[in-house]
Amino acid sequence: MVAEGFALVKCALIVDVYDLIDMLPSDIGIAPTSTRMTSMLISAEIDFLKRVKAGRKLKPADRFEDRLRQRLRKKGFVEVVKNPMRWSITEAGLAALGDS
């Protein structure tokens, strides 16, 4: 019973951390300039942007990778293109890679 309670608390903490990461600069009162947006990118996000830019095949996403991809989509750095369905880097994503 204690182990189950600990697992629930651990999951709640992880979700809260992801919610903090998902906050956009405008949510916390920071003007969204390209250098600030780029400085907020973690190495995994930069790696994903580089893979999309190069057109490399992406592995199936686990929970962390999916949240990372969706976070970049919400920021406007990548988009999903249909027919064939794939990820595509946007001008903002290219600018973010140029700054990093």
Would you list the domain boundaries of the chain?
2-99
> What confidence score (pLDDT) does residue 41 get?
82
Q: Output the tens digit of pLDDT for each of the chain's 100 residues.
A: 555 555 544 544 444 445 555 554 444 444 444 444 445 688 899 999 999 999 998 989 999 999 999 999 999 999 999 988 999 999 999 999 986 5
CATH of domain 2-99: 1.10.10
> What confidence score (pLDDT) does residue 98 get?
85
> What confidence score (pLDDT) does residue 94 get?
94
Task: Record the tokens describing residue 95, joined without a space.
Answer: 């600018």
